Every structure is written in structure tokens, then in C-alpha cells.
Homo-oligomer: A and B are copies of this chain.
Amino acid sequence: MKIIENEDLSSIKKRIRQATEQTVDPVIKQRVDDIIEQVRQRGDAALKDYSQRFDGIELTDLAVSKAEIDQAYNRLDEKVRTALEKAAQNIQSFHQLEVAQSFEDDSVPGVIRGTKVTPLARVGIYVPGGTAAYPSSVLMNAIPAKVAGVKEVIMVTPPQKEGLNQAVLAAAKIAGIDKIYQIGGAQAIAALAYGTESIPQVDKITGPGNAYVAAAKQAVYGQVAIDMIAGPSEIGILADDSANPKNLAADLLSQAEHDVRARAILITNSLNLAQAVSDEVEAELKTLPREEIARQAIEQQGFIYLTDSIDDMLALMNEVAPEHLEVQLENPKQYLAQIQNAGSVFLGPNTSEPLGDYYAGPNHILPTGGTARFSSALGVWDFQKRIQYLSYSENALQRDASNVIALAETEGLDGHARAIEIRGEQND
């Protein structure tokens, strides 16, 4: 891995910001716009055409039957099924802590002010196919929606010549998904956003996908809600001399193996550690089945930054705003207060990042590309909305009328003033 020392903080920051600037390929954008238009006009017929063209599969039925889902669950290796069920329990119990509650306030005399927190009615979850078909992502998408109280959780996933991924179907059953359709790509996003004969329109679409899926989600944003535009995986590690270089190398590679564009960044104040990790990465790379992907990622997007102090390390990592952040420093929890930008934080030597990917309970659908500056993990909050309400007594209205009228008149909105005045006239 490249070790960068003696570079000033501002030039490092600039490089990081540039690396994470969002761009959408205009060719992909145009194709996606066309696909969306076709699905809006031709519904299921368009979906079937695209499946034939892009997936090479002639679909008769878009819906996946309950029998097929049950069979996948029953035939799944018991060890994997148990692991999925335990993971689901942990995800459920963690997300239960996120549920927002309705509130009502009567502190202003004659006025009731409240907020009713309520779930979205119907949401759609995108689950990629092929080698990126991850049962863990099914759990991470669906369980927060179910905890929020969403009545209908719909999953879409690309059809596969060899049949749908069985662990994905089993995970859908464990997570309580209500309906599965085998359709992928931009056409699946369009179907969820606008509805077709088979697929109902949803209120929100969540879940990661390829560049076409990401572009389609951006295009339908506003028509429906979306979670985020997911980019390549990232891991940032803050470490000092107390850390174990073998562990750090393994953790860096656990993200690098996802994607040639994945980012793996170590920031440390120890040259010894930097060199040891760099050597271990090289050694461990050779043992990985996905060596080629991980090697490209490490060569292109892997960096070890050397800085003088832990304060500098933290400042720089806040610029990176990584999706996953490991803190492999002595007494790691004390630094939580200084961490401003990160999707999910892993504290101490035993908290390897894959624990969060699969099992412990926090969500693994996280902001990437520096967007942890302003966004958060997928959570129950993504599936709840808030409806405000207000009730005024006659006395309270009389008391406040002159102030409201003064403001309406300042803004030149006499109709607003009139709506208040007219009640006073009747009450006199």
C-alpha cells in the first residue's frame, strides 16, 4: 500500500474531496431515462422485454411463489439458516431502539401541538443479483422497515438463469418480506416508482445496486423517496502502535475485496505500523480468492497516511468521512466525541468490521463517498414519517390574532390575514 508522509493536511484534504465528488455517467443517465419512460408507458410488457434483453431470461411470471421461498428456506444449510436467524434477532433488537415516538404538547394555553409518527405504507427493497446477491442486505433493508411498522415490504431482485439465490430467498422469509418480484436494474426501480400491472407503486425504494440502479434511483427521487445513492465500499482505520498489523491488513482487505473501486485508508502516527500493515496486506492478498479485485482496489484507492498526532489523525478522518471507521487506538471509546463524520464506527481490537456487516445489529447500509458528512445509516427513521397537528381554542385565537395578522400583512398575503380576521368578526 502507498504510504504518504510529510504531506500537508490541506493537500490531503483536497485530494480526498476530489476523489469522492459525485458524477453520473451521462450515457447511463440517458439509457436509464429511456428505460423509465418505457416502463411507465408499457408496464409489465416493458419489464419482460428488458429481462430478455439484459438478463437473457424469458419471464412468464414476475412474482416469486410462496412455495419457492419456503423451499429455499427449508433446504438452506442449517448452519447458515441459524446464523441468519441470530443476525436477524440482533438487527431487530438494535433497530427497536431507533423507533421515534409521537408527542403532544400543551404548554401554550389553549393550544395543542403534536406530531404523529407513523410508518410509510409500502416500501420496495432492491437486492442485487449474481455475485452481489447478499442475504445480509435483505435483513438490513427489511428489518428496519418492519420495525417501523411498514405494512407491505416488497423485494425486487434480478432473475438468474441458474435460479434465484436461495440464501437471499431464505433471508427474505426470515425478515418477513411480503412479496418478491424477479426483476432487476433500472426497470425494477421504475416499476416500484410508478407501478405496473403486477408490481404496486411504493412510497420509498431502498437498497444498493449497480450504476444503472443508482442512476434510476436518482431519476425517480421526488416521485418516491429513496434511501441514498450508494457508492463503492470504504473502510477507514485509525491506529497507533498498540494495533495488530495482521488484523488491520485483514480488515482493510475485507472491504477491498468488494469492488475494484473500494477505498481502504489507514491513518496512523506510527511509521513502524504503516510499514508492517503494508507488508501484511501484500502477504494476505495472495491468500484471497478475490485477490484480483482486492489488489486493484488497494493499488488504486488504498492509502496509508502518516500524521504526527492523534488530533491530526481524527481531523483527517473526519475529512474522509468513511462508510466504516475502525478505531484501533488505546482506549478507543474516548475518541467517539471527536468523530464527526462516519457511517458506522468499530471500537477496539476485537471489533472487526465484518461483525457489523453481518451480525451485531447496527445497519450495514451506510453513507459512502463522503456523504457521511450529512447522512446516516439506513434506519427505522427511513421508514417513519411525521405528521404535525395543531388545535387552537377560541380564546387562544383571539390572543394571537393580531400577531399573526401583522406577519401576514408584512408579507403582503392579505388572504392569510383575512382567514384570521373573519373568525374574529364572527366571534365578536
* Set of chain B residues within 8 Å of A404, measured between Cβ atoms: 83, 354-355, 358-359
A121 contacts the other chain (CB 8 A): yes
Interface residue count on the A side (C-beta < 8 Å): 127
- The binding surface of chain A is classed by DSSP as mixed
A269 contacts the other chain (CB 8 A): no
A406 contacts the other chain (CB 8 A): yes
* Set of chain B residues within 8 Å of A355, measured between Cβ atoms: 390, 392, 397, 400, 404, 420
Q: Are A390 and B346 in contact (CB under 8 A)?
A: yes
Most buried by B among A204, A256, A411, A422: A411
Q: Are B345 and A407 in contact (CB under 8 A)?
A: no
Q: Are B377 and A247 in contact (CB under 8 A)?
A: no
Q: Mark A387-402, 1 if CB is under 8 A from B, else 0.
A: 1111111101100101
- Contacts A113-B360, A404-B355, A408-B358; is A418 near B284 (CB within 8 Å)? yes
Most buried by B among A103, A111, A415: A415
Q: Mark A369-398, 1 if CB is under 8 A from B, else 0.
A: 001111111010100011111111110110
Q: Are A406 and B80 in contact (CB under 8 A)?
A: yes
A141 contacts the other chain (CB 8 A): no
* Set of chain B residues within 8 Å of A224, measured between Cβ atoms: 374
A100 CB, min distance to chain B CBs, angstroms: 7
- Alpha-carbon distance between A375 and B221 when the two chains are bound, in angstroms: 12
**Among the listed B204, B223, B294, B407, which residue makes an inter-chain contact with A359, where contact means beta carbons less than 8 Å apart?**
B407
A236 CB, min distance to chain B CBs, angstroms: 13
* Set of chain B residues within 8 Å of A394, measured between Cβ atoms: 350
Q: Mark A132-159, 1 if CB is under 8 A from B, else 0.
A: 0011100000000000000000000000
CB closest chain-B residue, reference A119? B340
Q: Are B371 and A120 in contact (CB under 8 A)?
A: no
Stretch at the interface among A48-56, A86-94, A183-191, A270-278: A86-94
- Contacts A348-B391, A407-B136; is A288 near B253 (CB within 8 Å)? no
A10 contacts the other chain (CB 8 A): no
A343 contacts the other chain (CB 8 A): yes
A413 CB, min distance to chain B CBs, angstroms: 6
A333 contacts the other chain (CB 8 A): yes
CB closest chain-B residue, reference A280? B422
A419 contacts the other chain (CB 8 A): yes
Q: Mark A1-35, 1 if CB is under 8 A from B, else 0.
A: 00000000000000000000110000000000000
A251 contacts the other chain (CB 8 A): yes
Q: Are A376 and B381 in contact (CB under 8 A)?
A: no
- Contacts A358-B404, A360-B392; is A423 near B350 (CB within 8 Å)? yes
**Among the listed B256, B392, B407, which residue makes an inter-chain contact with A358, where contact means beta carbons less than 8 Å apart?**
B407
A203 contacts the other chain (CB 8 A): yes
A412 contacts the other chain (CB 8 A): yes
Q: Are A98 and B115 in contact (CB under 8 A)?
A: yes
Q: Mark A331-373, 1 if CB is under 8 A from B, else 0.
A: 0110010011011111111111111111111110000000111
* Set of chain B residues within 8 Å of A135, measured between Cβ atoms: 407, 410-411
A75 contacts the other chain (CB 8 A): no
**Among the listed B103, B108, B118, B408, which residue makes an inter-chain contact with A354, where contact means beta carbons less than 8 Å apart?**
B408
Question: Which residues of A, 240-268, contact B by the 8 Å Cβ criterion?
Answer: 244, 246-247, 250-251, 253-254, 256-258
**Among the listed B83, B340, B418, which residue makes an inter-chain contact with A254, where contact means beta carbons less than 8 Å apart?**
B418
A64 contacts the other chain (CB 8 A): no
Q: List 7 A-B contacts (CB under 8 A).
A: A204-B374, A222-B229, A284-B418, A290-B412, A345-B387, A350-B396, A358-B416
Q: Which A residues fall within an 8 A CB radius of B?
A: 21-22, 77, 79-80, 82-84, 86-87, 90, 93-94, 97-98, 100, 103, 105, 107-108, 111-113, 115-116, 118, 120-121, 131, 134-136, 167, 203-204, 218, 221-225, 229, 244, 246-247, 250-251, 253-254, 256-258, 284, 287-290, 294, 332-333, 336, 339-340, 342-363, 371-377, 379, 381, 385-394, 396-397, 400, 402-404, 406-408, 410-420, 422-423, 426
